[in-house]
Amino acid sequence: MSGCTIYLCGFMGCGKSHIGRMLATEMGREFTDLDRTITQREGMSIPEIFDKFGEPHFRELEAKYIRDLSEGYVVATGGGALINDRTAEFARRSGLSVYINADFETCYERIKGDKNRPLVVSNTKEQLRRLYDTRAEIYRRNSMCMVNGSVRDTIITDEIKKLAAYFEENGHL
Ligand code: S3P
């Protein structure tokens, strides 16, 4: 058995991809990235999708393509994916959704100036902080558990492995 699919969520720069890759290696799983799936299938970069079709369309693509990533993978979702209740509901029904809660300054240092993240390009630091605060509540509500993302990466992966083992054993947290 390949184990439950693990969906990592949290604000841009919280470490979803880095932690996801480490976790997948340690657990002998495949790692996949929802943003990468979208850009590959659509043949466009994320800034191009936002420019041409707008953010709501991108949210629809997240809701659509997350359905292809439920085969026991470790999935790094985009920072806005699980904000959408429909996408979050899918993740909840098909695996374990984990909110990586890193503090805003840590996230911001990793994402500032990134031209490949449309929300970073179009928002000031203070606007991003407000978005972070608004979303924190939604990540909590829309995921099944939360880990501290402001500690060493090995501590984060150990914590998620424990949660996944319990979830696979008991079918709930
Ligand atoms: C977004 C986060 C990005 C990407 C897109 C929108 C968001 O992913 O999906 O730019 O709304 O927070 P990362 O969280 O991997 O940066």
Q: Could you report the per-residue pLDDT of 48-57, keeping only the tens digit for each? A: 999 999 999 9
Residue 18: partners with Cβ closer than 8 Å, 6 or more residues away: 153
Cα 101–chain centre separation: 11
Residue 76, judged by CB atoms within 10 A of its CB (0-12, 13-18, 19+), counts as buried
Collapsed DSSP state (helix, strand, coil) of residue 103? coil
Taking each helix axis as running N to C, give the angle between helix 125-142 and helix 85-94, from 0 to 180 degrees, rounded to the nearest 10.
40
Alpha-carbon distance of 101 to 16, in angstroms, equals 10
- Give the pLDDT confidence of 120-142 residue by residue, as tens digits: 999 999 999 999 999 999 999 99
**pLDDT confidence of 1, banded at 50, 70, 90?**
very low
Of the candidates 7, 11, 5, 9, the residue with the CA atom closest to the CA atom of residue 102: 11
pTM metric for this prediction: 0.97
pLDDT bracket for residue 99 (50, 70, 90): very high
**Most informative mutation of 7, 8, 12, 65 for ligand 1 (most atoms within 8 A of CB):** 12
Q: Whose CA is nearest to atom 2 of ligand 1?
A: 79
CA of 129 to the centre of ligand 1 (A): 15
